[in-house]
Copies of this chain bind each other. A is one copy, B any other.
Amino acid sequence: MKVGVFDSGVGGLTVARSLQQSGCFSELLYYGDTARVPYGSKDSNTVTRYALEAVEFFNGADVDCLVVACNTVSVTALEQMQKFSNKPVYGVLEPGVMALQQLQGIDTSARVLVIATRSTINSGAYQQQIQALGYSQVDAMPTPLFVPIVEEELYDGPILQETFKHYFSKLEKPDVVLLGCTHFPLIAESISDYFNGAKTIHSGEAMLSWLKQHLDLSAQFESTPLHIIATENVDAVKRTATRWGLKL
């Protein structure tokens, strides 16, 4: 199975990495809209328009399905993308919520913290889906500074720790942190440590798990070639991919 992966920039590479490392896919085609990143501060009409341009690209590409590796797009434009795509389109929202339900030792009495960009949190999409499943203690916190901090490769250290205090010091300690932005897996360990070992949910692992369950996949490929396309500065995206452990 060949999979298309769409993100506004480089964040979705963490999802592509999970798919690549799984050995379940024959080929990956990553498309990053780096010329117009970030989407998180744009309004929903604009995000939808950009997402439909990506659909048009993937409609002409040799892939079997399309993974939206961007939380902003998944909560904003998924239905429109599904309507105009000529192949199945999967967003990260549903897999993330499913991963929460399947976490060992976690039931609906657990305290769940959702962190994401401002637009994803303001949409309320994660919070609503999680509460609808019966979880009663759900906090949500926009943590926009994590994106540039990750892009500066400061995966731990004093700036990140001070930023944790800034965003988290008034929250009760969560049992689970749902990482609602594809940049955040790179600081998942630091977040978990800050909260004394809270579990974290990673969009890439959640998506892989969801695809395995829904598409009956198994690990069968020794390697999965990854092709990267970007609307701007594709070399920078490739460098980030290499630094983040993807194989080009």
Contact = CB atoms under 8 A, between A and B. Distances in A.
A158 B149 CA distance: 15
29 contacts: A34-B41, A35-B42, A35-B46, A36-B36, A37-B41, A41-B233, A42-B232, A42-B233, A43-B232, A43-B233, A46-B232, A144-B148, A144-B152, A145-B148, A145-B149, A145-B152, A147-B148, A148-B148, A154-B166, A157-B166, A158-B162, A158-B165, A158-B166, A159-B159, A159-B162, A159-B163, A159-B166, A161-B162, A162-B162
Number of copies: 2
A170 to B, nearest CB: 15
A162 B157 CA distance: 9
Nearest to A36: B36
Nearest to A149: B145
Interface string A42-79: 11001000000000000000000000000000000000
Interface in A136-190: 144-145, 147-149, 151-152, 154, 157-159, 161-163, 165-166
Contacts of A43: 232-233
A232 B158 CA distance: 35
Contacts of A34: 41
Contacts of A151: 144
Contacts of A147: 148
A30 to B, nearest CB: 18
Interface in A53-107: none
Contacts of A154: 166
